[in-house]
Amino acid sequence: MKFTCPTSILSENISLAQKAVSTKSPFPVLTGILFEANEQNSTITLTATDLQMSVETSFPAKIIEGGSVVLASKFLGDIIKKLPETELMFEYLPNEGKCVIKYGASEVSVATYRPEEFPKNEEVIDGESFYISGEEFSTFIKQVLFATGTDESRPVFTGVLFEIVGQELRLVASDTHRLAFRKTFIKREDTGKNINVIIPSRTLHEAVRIFGTVDELLIKISEGQVEFSGNGIKLTSRLIEGQFPNYQQVIPTAFKSNILINKKYFLDSLERAALLPRDKDKTPVAKFYLERENMIITSQSESGSIREELPISLEGEEFTVAFNTRYLIDVLKVLETEEIYLSLTGPLNPGVVKPVNDENYLCLVLPVRPS
């Protein structure tokens, strides 16, 4: 294998592939990136996988000799960022077990693995597919992703539920203390088949970073696999097995009190209150006293105390409730409206945060028992 290409192009594509490289794998070949040079279409394809998730990215290059090789990715990724911007000459020397990259009068050699040892990427075929703009995808995923859990013993909560009924996509995530829900419409051929799958949060984090700016992102879902593609890049991932619980039954439909509140002021107050986590367990808990035109937020610890007074518009009952401020901060940070609704069902029952003028989003948060 032998080709030339600009430093920046190679660097960009290696960075992309590295997102799926296994950092600690018993199989050394998985710490590498598969390079494939295709003479027919003058394209280099890089593939990396940790067996859960894989990334495939292609770019044009002047190919002098086709072939394939796996390169140790850590040193490759570090050095490529430090090479001068030039036309690099890339050559695999199989007898010496290394790849040489030449730049001007200088060169680096990178250790290689045999391409035969690299796991084949399973194509996602016969799946259901739909399109969404990269920007919408990114916004919507971020609006639910923060609510996923990290407890590996309950895997269904470590991902986001993608539920598709007709042209409607519903995204749901929960760590059992809170639940975020986003609904949207997508471009999809009506195959009459509904979809109900859970995509790992790590895959979605990377998908947002890779596809956040593409015009059109194609998402294909098949038995056990999901594939995202756009801009010559393909991200494939296993799905999480298991059944997501019936989320609809936990979302309250009637409320004791509805509060309209300025998002920025509310967020600023919560971030200040969060600086005084409860002494016993370091959980940032604040009390919220609802009055007709004001909400009083208080929290205290050994270091001090805080009392915030915020103008609100309240419909319903005046009472007091306590929340983990972190949960409210997380949802306010992903909303873009100037004002939001906080709807409450009492001191021991879930509260719901909704943006004004958007019926397709909500985040449910369980209160903290008053101590």
The binding site for a second copy (CB under 8 A) comprises: 72, 74-76, 78-79, 82-84, 98, 104-111, 268-269, 271-272, 275-276, 301-309
Handedness of CA 314, 316, 319, 321 (dihedral sign): negative
Contacts of 41 (CB under 8 A, 6+ apart): none
Q: How far is the CB of 273 from a second copy (least distance, A)?
A: 9
Q: How far is the CB of 9 from a second copy (least distance, A)?
A: 19
Cβ proximity to a second copy, 310 vs 353, nearer residue: 310
Q: How far is the CB of 297 from a second copy (least distance, A)?
A: 8
Contacts of 148 (CB under 8 A, 6+ apart): 157, 158, 159, 160, 173, 174, 175, 201
Q: How far is the CB of 8 from a second copy (least distance, A)?
A: 16
C-alpha distance from residue 325 to each of 287, 318, 320, 336, 361 (Å): 9, 20, 15, 19, 20
- 122-144 burial, b if ≥16 CB within 10 A, otherwise e? eebeebbbbebbbeebbbbbbbb
Cβ proximity to a second copy, 203 vs 299, nearer residue: 299
Q: How far is the CB of 3 from a second copy (least distance, A)?
A: 18
Cβ proximity to a second copy, 101 vs 208, nearer residue: 101
Cβ proximity to a second copy, 27 vs 131, nearer residue: 27
Which stretches within the chain are classed as H helix? 7-18, 73-80, 134-145, 201-211, 263-273, 325-333
Cβ proximity to a second copy, 329 vs 366, nearer residue: 329
Cβ proximity to a second copy, 303 vs 357, nearer residue: 303
Q: What is the DSSP string of 72-122?
A: EHHHHHHHHTTS-SSEEEEEEEGGGTEEEEEETTEEEEEEEE-GGGSPPPP
Provide the 3-class DSSP secondary structure of residue 259: strand
Q: How far is the CB of 285 from a second copy (least distance, A)?
A: 16
- 178-217 burial, b if ≥16 CB within 10 A, otherwise e? bbbbbbbeeebeeeeeebebbbbbbbbebbbebbeebeeb
Handedness of CA 106, 92, 115, 36 (dihedral sign): positive
221: its two tokens:
């879902």
CA dist 108 and 125 (Å) reads 40
332: its two tokens:
């306010």
Cβ proximity to a second copy, 104 vs 316, nearer residue: 104
246: its two tokens:
């019936």
Q: How far is the CB of 78 from a second copy (least distance, A)?
A: 5
Q: How far is the CB of 311 from a second copy (least distance, A)?
A: 9
Q: How far is the CB of 206 from a second copy (least distance, A)?
A: 25
Cβ proximity to a second copy, 300 vs 360, nearer residue: 300
CA dist 47 and 56 (Å) reads 4
Cβ proximity to a second copy, 9 vs 108, nearer residue: 108
C-alpha distance from residue 189 to each of 121, 182, 192, 234 (Å): 26, 21, 9, 21
Q: How far is the CB of 93 from a second copy (least distance, A)?
A: 12
Cβ proximity to a second copy, 196 vs 313, nearer residue: 313
